[in-house]
A and B are shown apart, each in its own frame.
Chain A
Amino acid sequence: MYLGKVIGRIEARVRLPGLETQRIVLLQPLDFNQQPIRWTLLAADVTGAADESLVLFEEGREAANPFDPPLPIDACIVAIVDDYQYQA
Chain B
Amino acid sequence: MFIAMVKGTVTATRKHPSMAGARLLIVQPIDPISSQPSGFPQVAADVLGAAAGMRVLVVSDGRGVQDMLKADNRCPVRLGIMALIDPPAV
Binding site for B on A (CB under 8 A): 1-3, 29, 31-32, 37-38, 46-48, 56, 58-66, 68, 76, 78-88
Evaluate contact between B40 and A2: CB separation under 8 angstroms: yes
Give 4 A-B pairs besides A2-B42, A47-B16 with Cβ atoms closer than 8 angstroms.
Answer: A32-B26, A46-B16, A58-B76, A66-B74
Residue among B10, B11, B74 with the most chain A CB within 10 A?
B10
Question: Cα distance A65–B7 when bound, in Å?
Answer: 28
| Chain B interface residues (CB < 8 Å from chain A) | 7-16, 19, 24, 26, 40-44, 52, 62, 73-79
Residue of A38, A47, A59, A86 near B26 (CB, 8 A) is: A86
Instruction: Check if B62 sits within 8 Å of A32, measured CB to CB.
Output: no
Residues on B with C-beta less than 8 A from A56 are 10, 12, 15, 24, 43
Q: How many A-B contacts if CB must be within 8 Å?
A: 97
Contact of B10 among A48, A62, A84, A87 (CB under 8 A): A84
CA distance A86 to B42 in the complex (A): 12
CB-CB under 8 A from A87, the residues of chain B are: 7-8, 52
Q: Which of B11, B74, B75, B77 contacts A84 (CB 8 A)?
A: B11
Sorted nearest first, the 4 A-B pairs with minimum C-beta distance are: A79-B15, A86-B8, A62-B62, A79-B12
Q: Which of B14, B15, B19, B77 contacts A62 (CB 8 A)?
A: B77
Beta-carbon contact of B74 and A81 below 8 Å: no
Residue of B nearest to A30 (CB): B40
